[in-house]
Amino acid sequence: MTTTTAEGVGFRSRRGPILIALMLSTGLVAIDSTIVATAVPSIVDDVGGFTSFPWLFSAYLLAQAVSVPVYAKLSDVVGRKPIILSGIGLFLFGSILCGVAWSMPALIAFRVLQGLGAGAVQPVAITIAGDIYTLTERAKVQGYLASVWAVSSVVGPTLGGVFSSLGIWRGIFLVNIPLCLLAGWMLIRTFHENVERAKHRVDYLGAALLTFSLSLLVLGALEGGQAWAWNSSISIAVFAGGALLFAVFLLVERRAAEPVLPPWVVSRRLLATTAMISFGVGAVMLGLTSYVPTFLEGALRTSPIFAGLALAALTVGWPISASQAGRFYLRIGFRRTALIGVTVTVTGTAVLALTASAPNILVAAAGCFVVGLGLGLVATPSLIAAQSSVEWNERGVVTGTNLFARSIGSSIGVAVFGAVANAIYAGAPGGVSDPQTIVSASTAVFLAVLVCAVLTVAAVIAMPAADSKSTAPEAAAKANAASAQD
């Protein structure tokens, strides 16, 4: 077995082909999260189902979120390569079916398949990066992976608009075919790993209970206040059912030989606090992603393109700071770096909240850029701190838990922000089309996002200082890491 050594980071390095493959794999998920929105009108015109189209997003996000912990655990059991290749294959299959969908219900069902594939690709790609790169190199690599999201925030909507204007909306799904094939081929050719072949007892019951319980809980958060009222019987039934199944899941996990979500994930202070931080990052990120374009388009009558570019400033700021995070945490530690980042995040959200009453697209873009800079200095150090504190056979679960917490934060954040906005819309005579009402609702949402950012400060402070520069167990992890031989 060949152990990965510190040999430089970049496309021309020995591990460059793997890095490119990981970026391509991440790009599948990143582009898909932005390309569909601009094509919705064309999709509805062709297959109908206007009242159901929000499920194109909810079904995808739900399937992705609930499958992450299961895939993460499996990657620790059978290895990273078979799981990420399975995810790419499932995403490819779902994309092909979406491209030939004949109705809105069929398209929604096929989006679930895409989401299940994405649930494997994103966390395992980040886990592989944690396996083959040293602690010093990981921040720069995370910057490369984060840059994929920055590019996708511009490329995705643009491609979606082009395909829609040409009347070929199915192309937004079929374009994934060559990308999937290329990413899979590069991983098969360049990424090799030596996994200890031992007999494992797969926790099928735990995986099923976790999937169904989280599906109900996330579904309740995504659709509450929109598809049904929060206090309706269906809402109560969904949350109660999810809570009951989750309680049963916790009981099953206590007796499982190899639990899909081990209790130590939440009992270790470092892992628990970094998951809380990731939860806050998800809430802040999706809160702004969901409401900044609506705010600018409704209050200033800005075109969707310019509103999208203002928001893109967030995804530009993130990779810039993420790529430089290593310079900070190697000198001052993970917690202090994250504290700097969360302080910058609070500053950016405060700018948005305090200036929303006097809408200005440049100010909004500047605020988003500052928030992006802050999030890059929060998300990257906290994730790498968690990864660096565990062995190879635990890193998949830790990475998956971190990303899952971010997904849950996004889901609950959108639900809370939506409730805040809807309460203002419901009491305003002008309704959702009145610019002043939009300003009031957006101001309230940005204040709620600011509160989330402030609460994330508390989670960062709670990180254990003793582990803030943790490098253990780097040597042991490298003994199991993937080799990067052609």
| 3-state helix/strand/coil string of 80-100 | HHHHHHHHHHHHHHHHHHHHC
How many other C-beta atoms lie within 10 A of the C-beta of residue 294?
16
Can you tell me the distance from the alpha carbon of 397 to that of 124, in angstroms, rounded to the nearest whole number? 10
Give the pLDDT of residue 167: 80
How many other C-beta atoms lie within 10 A of the C-beta of residue 244?
12
Pair of tokens at residue 30 = 């990143």
Give the pLDDT of residue 241: 94
Please give the angle made by the CA atoms of 392, 393 and 394, to the nearest 5 degrees: 90
Pair of tokens at residue 130 = 């944690």
Give the pLDDT of residue 8: 66
Pair of tokens at residue 118 = 């994405």
Cβ atoms 312, 296 nearer than 8 A? no
For the chain, 486 residues long, give each residue's pLDDT as a single digit of tens. 333 444 566 677 778 888 999 999 988 888 887 788 777 778 888 888 766 677 787 788 888 888 888 888 888 888 899 999 999 999 999 999 999 999 988 999 999 999 999 999 989 998 998 888 887 788 778 778 878 877 887 787 778 878 877 888 899 899 899 999 999 999 998 888 876 666 667 778 888 888 888 888 878 877 777 778 878 899 899 999 999 999 998 888 888 777 877 888 888 899 999 999 999 999 998 888 878 887 887 888 877 667 777 877 888 888 888 878 888 888 889 999 999 999 999 999 999 999 998 889 999 999 999 999 999 999 989 999 998 888 888 888 898 889 888 888 887 887 788 788 878 877 777 666 678 888 888 899 999 999 999 999 999 999 987 554 444 344 334 434 444 443
User: Among positive and negative, which fits the CA dihedral 59, 167, 28, 278?
Assistant: negative
Can you tell me the distance from the alpha carbon of 363 to that of 380, in angstroms, rounded to the nearest whole number? 26
Number of H helices, E strands in the chain: 18, 0
